[in-house]
Amino acid sequence: MKHLTEYSDPASIHALVAEIARISKRPARIMEVCGGQTHAILRHALDTLLPPHIQLLHGPGCPVCVTPSSYLDHAIAIAKLPDVILCTFGDLLRVPSNSSGDLYAAKARAADIRMITSPLQALDFARENPDKQVVHLAIGFETTAPANAMAAYLAKDRGLLNFSLLVSQFLVPPILRAICADPATAPDAFLAAGHVCAIVGSDPYVSLARELNRPIAITGFEPADILLGVLDVLRLFEQGKAGMINAYPRIVHPGGNPEALRIIDAVFEVCDREWRGLGVVPQSGLALRPEYAAHDAAKIFPAPPPSAAADAPQCPADQVLLGRLQPPDCPYFGTRCTPDHPLGAPMVSPEGPCAAFFLHRRGS
């Protein structure tokens, strides 16, 4: 295949489905770890094309969904301070915190919260408003880390001491290890996110597949991309083998993006990181290095005391994000919990699994 349209060609899709049905003999549970892939699977109904003994699980691949409530409490507390401009991507605005509501409500109460599409816009605000403290909410997986790192690097280089990052950056491999720690619920194989691997490369997933003793296919986002990944992991699974297959070679290379990795390593260091509903996962995140302390909002603005409120106990987000509960099986799905009135983060973000099922499968 040479052109993007070929990856959504019905003949190619049906050929891949037929080959999957031909080789697949054993029940298999395959987890994709990317919210974009979840939406593609549901939008194109790819799961309904597969044999019934193959189940696709939707893992913690939505960065907004796994951003912890305590982080939102901290961000809202900062936004309420005078002379602060808080910058964020739009899908974080309506994610519920523990006890402070959400950023959208804080904005409605006159907090200066601005939606941006690039961290570099936040740098511009800092340059244009030297009498304000500009704080960018730096969240996401390895995909967003280079841009956030570059923002910190440029702020230091340009002497913009009124610019800082409140960081909640996540790493994918550690959460896959955590998911596989419970043999009773661990999936049989993984589909890795192509955009994450475009940054870090396919090489790290070779050793990860051996460590987890499971097949991993790096996949893209078009229907044929995803089905190619499913076919690749099933070939290994049927042979009882672990291994990594790069089913997205037009984008993902063994060594990843060297320049992106260089700026990440220069600005960030690996740290323990809290995941919403999943607790603290060791060495699963990135934090600013000590030399960037002047641009670390967590150090400039101390976090508020922990809230005694539970982390949305009525929302079983942890079970959804671990692939143990399909969103339609949640008792609140589509009734008490909708995109207009979400109980939890998976229904808020456009990449969230609950939002995906609500958009593509409601009423089916």
Higher-confidence residue of 7 and 82: namely: 82
Residue 308 is predicted with a pLDDT of: 55
Residue 323 is predicted with a pLDDT of: 86
Protein fold of 67-171+256-300: Rossmann fold (3.40.50)
Look at the block and give the residue holding tokens 């990856």: 7
Domain 4-62+178-246 class? alpha beta
- Over residues 319-344, the pLDDT tens digits come to 888 888 999 999 999 999 998 888 88
Give 312's pLDDT tier (boundaries 50, 70, 90): very low
Lowest pLDDT segment from 25-34, 89-98, 109-118: 89-98
Higher-confidence residue of 68 and 208: namely: 208
- Over residues 147-173, the pLDDT tens digits come to 999 999 999 999 999 999 999 999 999
Collapsed DSSP state (helix, strand, coil) of residue 163: strand
Beta strand 243-246 pairing with 215-219? parallel
Burial 6-20 (b: 16+ CB within 10 A, else e): ebeeeebbeebbebb
Give 311's pLDDT tier (boundaries 50, 70, 90): very low
Give 310's pLDDT tier (boundaries 50, 70, 90): very low
- Over residues 191-216, the pLDDT tens digits come to 999 999 999 999 999 999 999 999 99
Highest mean pLDDT: which range of 59-68, 135-144, 270-279: 135-144
Residue 25 is predicted with a pLDDT of: 96
CATH topology match: 4-62+178-246 vs 67-171+256-300: yes
Domain boundaries, the chain: 4-62+178-246, 67-171+256-300
CA angle in degrees (0–180, nearest 5) for 264-270-276: 105
Separation between Cα atoms, residue 145 and residue 161, nearest integer Å: 21
- Over residues 24-54, the pLDDT tens digits come to 999 999 999 998 999 999 999 999 999 999 9
Higher-confidence residue of 344 and 312: namely: 344
Residue 1 is predicted with a pLDDT of: 56
Percent of the chain past pLDDT 90, that is, above it, reads 76
223 vs 76, 248, 251, 330, CA distance in Å? 39, 12, 16, 27
Percent of the chain past pLDDT 70, that is, above it, reads 96
Higher-confidence residue of 82 and 315: namely: 82
Type and span of the H or E element at 31? strand 28-32
Residue 99 is predicted with a pLDDT of: 73
Asked whether the predicted pLDDT for residue 363 surpasses 70, the reply is no
Alpha helices (runs of H) in the chain, residue ranges in sequence order: 10-23, 35-43, 46-49, 63-66, 69-79, 103-108, 119-128, 145-158, 172-180, 194-200, 203-212, 223-238, 258-267, 297-300, 317-321, 353-361
Asked whether the predicted pLDDT for residue 4 surpasses 70, the reply is no
Asked whether the predicted pLDDT for residue 313 surpasses 90, the reply is no
Look at the block and give the residue holding tokens 């008792």: 331
